[in-house]
A and B are shown apart, each in its own frame.
Chain A
Amino acid sequence: MRKPVRIGVGGPVGSGKTALVDRRCRALLGQYELAVVTNDNYTKEDAEFLIRQGVLPRERIVGVETGGCPHTAIREDVSMSVAAVEGLVEACPRLDIVFVERFGFEQLFVEVDVRVAGERRLVDRLQLAPSDGSLDRLGLWDGYAYYGSLYAYSPRLDAALAAALAELIEARDGAYGGAGQPAPNFAIARMLAHTTWEIREILFSAWDLLRRGLVGKPARQLRKP
């Protein structure tokens, strides 16, 4: 079987993956046989747009449905995209180029629900399904691709330690974060960054600060960098 060139397009929500694919398709149309695999719901909207614009026929645009697992995290598993490409090649054997959109997500669901003595003290729920709105055009993540959270609880966690945590998180260059004390003995921190490594670094320094404040010991590296 003839194998088309596969071009992956990656990037965070709102970075312009679909726009890029759109422009490339318009530029290459007529010279090559093209197809597009998208792997998140919101791009279906854009796929419909492509179809309406007559850029590509309907059968050349495939949206991969990744299912409705309630604890879905960001999906980066490419196996379904690979299967979609194979399906496209079977249906259209003359394909030259397949654009595969990576990253983005169909659903992001995070839930942290902390109860102390049966009472609800802290609930953090993120529920993002880009298909429910024009998420890709909005500044939910301020242009950052990675997100991290930290939750700490200790009877020894006082306002001064929470303030020190906020100072540490806010001072971090190259990331955007904040921290606070929403309930006694709790501290939470949220951060956005451009790389997972940056998120890991901030989390580690925050953990180190908390360990020193709470048990008088530095944090240990769990893995060698």
Chain B
Amino acid sequence: MHTLTDDALPSLFQLTSAAFPTGAFSHSYGLETSVQAGRVHDVATFGEWLEVHLCYSAGPTDGAAVALVQRAATAVDWDAVVRIDGLLTALKLAPEIQAASLATGQAALRAAREVFPGPALDRYAALLADRRARGNAAVVFGCVVADLKVPASVSVLAFLWGIASGLTAVATRLVPLGGIGAQRLLRELGPRIRDAAVRAQARREHELNTSAIAQDIAALRHARLYSRLYIS
């Protein structure tokens, strides 16, 4: 079990910062559909949407995968990493969500290999080049934190917080929300993000799932929106 070092902490800040070039800022993960439908229209309704997204969609799939991949990569079990990568792709039923995970993941991999080079990332990049791995964002993140030797509880929390922060920025532009109100919401959601991370970290491979059905449908419908600002 790793402890969080003074060196790893700034690296986590950097990885989850909006400035890290993954292209995540151009994805709404179905939020745009719900904003256009009027279901998400203020800080409170966005807060509910985000909580559902973290607890029933991103948490039990991507969040759980971060911890599983980190563990497998640390144990040099690359068959398991490849298997989880494939499972994660198969679980993403909305094509745009699947594409978002792969596009942001592969961009993160390119950047992270330059910025945080390490043996797990190298190995994963080789598997991707062989077309054995897929390049999902959560799997890439799991490999980076394996190299950085971050405790799994912290890495899952950081990953989910990155999603929450990114989507808050998306909502600020889309809904739109006031900047201060949106940031206050993110602060207030802190305990729920922590809960989602704790539950995600406890999930085993056969427990990866997404159960936010209305958000799945919104993500599916996003492909056919008449006008759209976001890729997903």
> Which of B60, B207, B210, B213 gathers the greatest number of chain A CB atoms within 10 Å?
B213
* B12 CB within 8 Å of chain A: no
B209 at the interface (CB under 8 A from A): yes
Given A166-B224, A180-B223, A140 and B95 contact (CB-CB distance below 8 Å) = no
Q: Is the CB of A140 within 8 A of B213?
A: yes
Q: Which residue of B lies closest to A138 (CB)?
A: B52
B49 contact from A125, A139, A190, Cβ within 8 A: A139
- Asked if B49 and A166 make an inter-chain contact with CB atoms under 8 angstroms apart, the answer reads no
Partner of A133, one of B49, B55, B213: B55
Interfacial chain A residues near B93, Cβ < 8 Å: 122, 124, 180, 182, 188, 190
For chain A, give the interface size range. Answer: 35 or more
Q: Determine the residue in chain A with the shortest Cβ distance to B196.
A: A133
**B 46-99 contacts with A by CB, 8 A:** 48-49, 51-52, 55-56, 60, 86-87, 90-96, 98
Instruction: Say yes or no: A192 contacts B60, CB within 8 Å.
Output: no
Q: Which of B51, B55, B95, B217 has the most CB of A within 10 A?
A: B217
Task: A36 to B218: give the CA distance in the assembly, Å.
Answer: 37
Q: A140-B212, A182-B93 are in contact. Are A176 and B217 (CB under 8 A)?
A: yes
**A-chain residues with CB within 8 Å of residue B41 when the two chains form the complex:** none
A139: chain B residues at CB < 8 Å are 39, 48-49, 52, 214
Would A147 and B213 be within 8 Å (CB), given that A121-B90, A125-B91, A180-B94 are in contact? yes
- Residues of A in contact with B (beta carbons under 8 Å apart): 108, 114, 119-128, 132-133, 138-142, 144, 147, 166-167, 170, 176-183, 188-192
